[in-house]
């Protein structure tokens, strides 16, 4: 009665605490899923607004970051010494990714670049002069015979006639002499010729409109040829000083070519001291930067003058302007203090790349929003046009600060949204159903486990009751017969023999029960409790049958024993003996006379097969799955006529599993049972 009440309480607890809340939650989930389409439309509208705000914020933040980096670099440029030759101890200037050039002004005066631009022109103008007929003939003679005496003689004569020939002819003749003396490695005369050429204030050739840079470079190369490396360094610094003070080079390109050539050559000197190497390295970097800035400044001279004089600065101190295809921005107060003005020249591709990187970062979190970003010419910058070109525009807005980018957000197609919603609803329904099934199955198995646990506790209780009874009964008989014989109440020899036999039987019964309990306890420790060896199973079975001859005779049963010799296995001898004992004794115990028991041991190609077949009471199919469980006995413990502990078949199963043997059962009520164990044959 108590067990039935406990089971009812368990069922009520499971239903009230798990099943019912799960079903209610599932119903509520199914109802909320039905509103998914409405929620999807509303969420899309909210997501469009959030996406737009995030995109605008990201682009504006990146533009402001570029401005901040430009401001930081401008502070470094303000600290640079005006004289480039002092730059070796100055702070390194970092480039701003997306900005090509930075220009500094204060009160309208240029601070950087600090080069005295003078009459420097951005582009080189080629000379329109042509070689004189005499120069052509001499040159052709020199080309056909480099060491031609007539050619040398004519050039020397013409050099002496300098007052009577034109400046152009004199320059062409001197250049020819320089060329021949250089090939002859007559460097001292080359220097004299260079001095003569530099005496002409506006020396030109029929190739160059300004011959001076080429002459200076020739002088430098001759010094290097003569291995006068220190003089070459000093000469380069001398030319640099003249360039910084009097603007000796007519074009930026000629200055860049001269200094790039000389600086690179000096830096290639193997024995150049470390301080000199650092000096020329800094000079090269700073001069190249300044020449590039000067080039930009001259090309956009009118634009810069208007930009500097423009006092209509916005409140935030930043505004953008375009000169042709080039983009600039002006930075002033309150970004900068006083009358400082910074003009930045934007490098379009890098600037765009920086902004697009931020766009992609935002877009990764909003994959389902159709959008495009286009420039002023309607070229696609980012995004993808919807397949349905008739899609309605949800939002169209300009992005960034004077960026001329337009963001267009499209409404999602109704049929597409419906398909996506249906798919999502299907997933949600599936997940909800799966969750419900999982909870129900989990509850079922948990309930089953608890029920089995409760059943096992009940079987343990019955086991303890049965074992107590089984232990008490033989002990009572042994004690009673022993006391009778001890007090001399039994005088007849026949009675003493009878009582002694009864004491022996009860002792054996008690011994077997204790042995079963000990075997069960030992096997609970697993393989570590076994002693593994190779032995003949036929010997083990025969030894057991010899010890149980009296029991076999007392039951008046027919025994058919077929034992094949030399059936070797690897295992624990005591455990296998216990397996044989339990199977045979169970067959004897549950077979009534006149019955028959077959005990068969044989081998096939890979296995050793031990079978015990009886014609006993049999086992119902519903009970067969439980008979190997601990403490389990078929039927009602209180009405069962055959006593036992419920451990015999449990021990058989544990021994078989430990030895990796298979055990099978075939049984029908009233027809008997067939237990078959298959062992692996020993090598």
Q: pLDDT tens across 404-423, in order?
A: 899 888 876 666 655 656 65
Domain that holds residue 160: 129-207
What is the C-alpha separation between 46 and 32, in angstroms, rounded? 19
Q: Which of 153, 175, 207 is the last residue of a domain?
A: 207
Is the pLDDT higher at 49 or at 431? 49
Q: Which two tokens stand for residue 146?
A: 């480099």
Regarding whether 664 and 578 lie in a shared domain, the answer is yes
What pLDDT sits at residue 540? 92
What is the C-alpha separation between 193 and 187, in angstroms, rounded? 10
What pLDDT sits at residue 485? 73
Regarding whether 400 and 263 lie in a shared domain, the answer is no
Q: Does the residue 119 lie in any domain?
A: no
Evaluate if residue 37 carries a pLDDT over 70.
no
Query: Residue 609: left if φ>0, alpha if ψ -120 to 50, beta else—which one?
Result: beta
Regarding whether 368 and 234 lie in a shared domain, the answer is no
Regarding whether 664 and 539 lie in a shared domain, the answer is yes
Instruction: Residue 361: give its domain's CATH number.
Output: 3.30.2200
Evaluate if residue 608 carries a pLDDT over 90.
yes
Is the pLDDT higher at 595 or at 88? 595
Evaluate if residue 369 carries a pLDDT over 90.
no
Question: How many other C-beta atoms are found inside a 10 Å radius of the C-beta of residue 305?
Answer: 11
What is the C-alpha separation between 445 and 450, in angstroms, rounded? 8
Sheet containing strand 672-680, strands side by side = 558-563, 596-603, 607-614, 672-680, 662-668
Helix, strand, or coil (residue 646): coil
Q: Does the residue 456 lie in any domain?
A: no
Lowest mean pLDDT among 32-41, 355-364, 570-579: 32-41
Regarding whether 247 and 136 lie in a shared domain, the answer is no
Q: Does the residue 195 lie in any domain?
A: yes
What pLDDT sits at residue 613? 94
| Range ranked top by mean pLDDT from 206-215, 554-563, 647-656 | 554-563
What pLDDT sits at residue 119? 47
Backbone angles phi, psi at 111, to 5 degrees: -105, -40
What pLDDT sits at residue 181? 78
Instruction: Residue 638: give its domain's CATH number.
Output: 3.30.565.10
Q: How confident is the model at residue 57 (pLDDT cuts 50, 70, 90)?
A: very high
Q: Provide mean pLDDT across the span 335-339.
A: 87
Own/partner pairs, 356-362, CB within 8 angstroms, 24+ separation: 356/381, 356/382, 357/62, 358/58, 358/59, 358/61, 358/62, 359/55, 359/58, 359/59, 361/58, 362/51, 362/54, 362/55, 362/58
What is the C-alpha separation between 78 and 58, in angstroms, rounded? 30
Q: Which two tokens stand for residue 469?
A: 């009874």
Domain count, the chain: 4
Evaluate if residue 679 carries a pLDDT over 70.
yes
What is the C-alpha separation between 538 and 546, in angstroms, rounded? 12
Evaluate if residue 328 carries a pLDDT over 90.
yes
| Helix, strand and coil percent figures for the chain, each rounded to 5 | 60, 15, 30
Q: Which of 207, 238, 268 is the last residue of a domain?
A: 207
Regarding whether 165 and 272 lie in a shared domain, the answer is no
Q: What angle do CA 280, 282, 284 make, to 5 degrees?
A: 65
Q: Does the residue 76 lie in any domain?
A: no
Residue 458 exposure: Cα atoms within 13 Å on the Cβ side? 17
What pLDDT sits at residue 345? 93
Distance set, CA 392 to CA 395, 407, 410 (Å): 9, 14, 6
Q: Which of 394, 412, 430 is the last residue of a domain?
A: 412
Regarding whether 649 and 541 lie in a shared domain, the answer is yes
Closest CA to 71 of 370, 459, 340: 340
Q: Provide mean pLDDT across the span 34-54.
A: 73
Q: Does the residue 218 lie in any domain?
A: no
Evaluate if residue 454 carries a pLDDT over 50.
yes
Evaluate if residue 602 carries a pLDDT over 70.
yes
Whether the full predicted model's pTM is greater than 0.85, yes or no, is no
| H-assigned helices in 105-251 | 133-144, 149-160, 167-183, 187-198, 212-225, 229-246
What pLDDT sits at residue 636? 44
What pLDDT sits at residue 103? 92
Q: Which two tokens stand for residue 676?
A: 């078959």
Backbone angles phi, psi at 606, to 5 degrees: -125, -15
Please give the share of the chain, as a percent, with pLDDT higher than 70: 67
What pLDDT sits at residue 474? 67
Q: Does the residue 475 lie in any domain?
A: no
Is the pLDDT higher at 68 or at 427? 68
Regarding whether 673 and 533 lie in a shared domain, the answer is yes
Is the pLDDT higher at 274 or at 390? 274
Q: Provide mean pLDDT across the span 241-269.
A: 83
The separation between CA 237 and the C-alpha centre of its own chain, rounded to angstroms, equals: 55
Please give the share of the chain, as a percent, with pLDDT higher than 90: 19
Q: pLDDT tens across 73-130, in order?
A: 888 888 777 666 665 555 567 788 999 999 999 888 888 888 876 544 544 444 555 6
Checking DSSP bridges between strand 558-563 and strand 596-603, what pairing results, if any? parallel
Q: Give, for 319, the enclosing helix (H) or strand (E).
A: strand 318-323
Q: Does the residue 17 lie in any domain?
A: no
Q: Provide mean pLDDT across the span 236-255.
A: 79
Strands (E), 474-539: 533-536
What one-character-per-residue DSSP string does 112-128 give? Answer: ES-S--TT-BSS-----
Are 107 and 339 a contacting pair, CB within 8 Å? yes
What pLDDT sits at residue 231? 92
Q: Does the residue 20 lie in any domain?
A: no
Regarding whether 203 and 231 lie in a shared domain, the answer is no
């Amino acid at each position: 009665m108590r067990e039935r009440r406990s089971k009812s309480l368990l069922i009520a607890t499971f239903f009230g605490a798990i099943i019912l809340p799960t079903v209610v939650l599932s119903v509520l989930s199914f109802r909320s899923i039905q509103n998914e389409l409405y929620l999807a439309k509303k969420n899309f509208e909210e997501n469009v607004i959030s996406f737009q705000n995030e995109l605008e914020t990201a682009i504006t933040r990146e533009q402001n970051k570029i401005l901040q980096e430009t401001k930081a670099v401008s502070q470094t440029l303000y600290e640079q010494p005006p004289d480039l030759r002092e730059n070796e101890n100055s702070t390194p200037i970092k480039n701003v990714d997306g900005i090509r050039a930075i220009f500094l002004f204060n009160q309208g005066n240029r601070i950087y670049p600090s080069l005295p631009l003078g009459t420097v022109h951005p582009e080189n103008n080629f000379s329109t002069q042509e070689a004189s007929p005499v120069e052509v003939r001499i040159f052709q003679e020199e080309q056909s015979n480099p060491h031609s005496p007539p050619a040398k003689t004519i050039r020397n004569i013409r050099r002496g006639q300098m007052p009577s020939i034109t400046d152009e002819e004199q320059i062409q003749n001197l250049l020819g002499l320089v060329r021949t003396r250089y090939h002859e490695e007559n460097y001292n005369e080359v220097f004299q010729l260079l001095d003569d050429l530099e005496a002409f204030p506006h020396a030109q050739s029929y190739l160059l409109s300004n011959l001076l840079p080429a002459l200076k470079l020739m002088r430098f190369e001759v010094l290097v040829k003569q291995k006068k490396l220190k003089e070459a360094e000093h000469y380069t610094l001398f030319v640099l000083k003249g360039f910084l003070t009097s603007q000796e080079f007519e074009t930026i390109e000629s200055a860049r070519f001269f200094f790039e050539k000389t600086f690179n050559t000096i830096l290639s000197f193997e024995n150049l001291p470390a301080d000199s190497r650092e000096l020329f390295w800094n000079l090269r970097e700073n001069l190249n930067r300044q020449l590039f800035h000067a080039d930009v400044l001259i090309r956009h001279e009118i634009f810069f003058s208007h930009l500097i004089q423009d006092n209509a600065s916005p409140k935030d101190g930043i505004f953008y302007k375009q000169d042709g295809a080039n983009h600039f921005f002006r930075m002033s107060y309150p970004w900068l203090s006083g009358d400082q003005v910074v003009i930045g020249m934007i490098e379009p591709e890098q600037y765009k790349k920086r902004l697009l990187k931020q766009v992609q970062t935002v877009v990764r979190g909003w994959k389902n929003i159709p959008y495009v970003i286009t420039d002023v010419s309607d070229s696609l910058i980012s995004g993808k046009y919807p397949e349905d070109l008739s899609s309605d525009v949800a939002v169209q807005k300009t992005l960034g600060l004077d960026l001329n980018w337009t963001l267009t957000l499209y409404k999602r197609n109704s049929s597409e949204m419906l398909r996506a919603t249906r798919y999502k609803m299907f997933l949600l329904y599936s997940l909800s159903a799966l969750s419900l099934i999982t909870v129900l199955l989990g509850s079922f198995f948990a309930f089953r486990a608890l029920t089995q646990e409760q059943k096992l506790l009940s079987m343990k209780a019955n086991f303890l009751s049965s074992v107590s009874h089984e232990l008490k009964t033989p002990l009572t008989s042994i004690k009673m017969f022993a006391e009778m014989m001890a007090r001399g109440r039994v005088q007849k020899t026949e009675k003493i023999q009878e009582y002694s036999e009864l004491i022996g039987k009860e002792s054996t019964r008690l011994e077997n029960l204790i042995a079963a309990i000990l075997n069960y306890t030992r096997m609970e420790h697993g393989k570590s409790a076994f002693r593994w060896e190779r032995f003949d199973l036929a010997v083990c079975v025969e030894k057991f049958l010899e010890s149980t001859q009296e029991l076999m005779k007392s039951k008046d049963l027919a025994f058919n024993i077929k034992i094949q010799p030399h059936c070797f296995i690897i295992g624990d001898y005591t455990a296998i003996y216990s397996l044989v004992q339990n199977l045979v004794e169970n067959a004897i115990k549950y077979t009534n006379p006149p019955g028959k028991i077959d005990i068969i041991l044989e081998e096939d190609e890979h296995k050793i097969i031990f079978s015990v077949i009886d014609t006993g009471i049999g086992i119902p199919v519903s009970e067969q799955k439980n008979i190997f469980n601990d403490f389990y006995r078929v039927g009602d413990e209180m009405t069962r006529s055959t006593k036992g502990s419920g451990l015999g078949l449990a021990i058989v199963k544990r021994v078989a599993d430990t030895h990796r043997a298979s055990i099978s059962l075939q049984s029908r009520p009233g027809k008997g049972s067939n237990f078959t164990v298959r062992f692996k044959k020993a090598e």
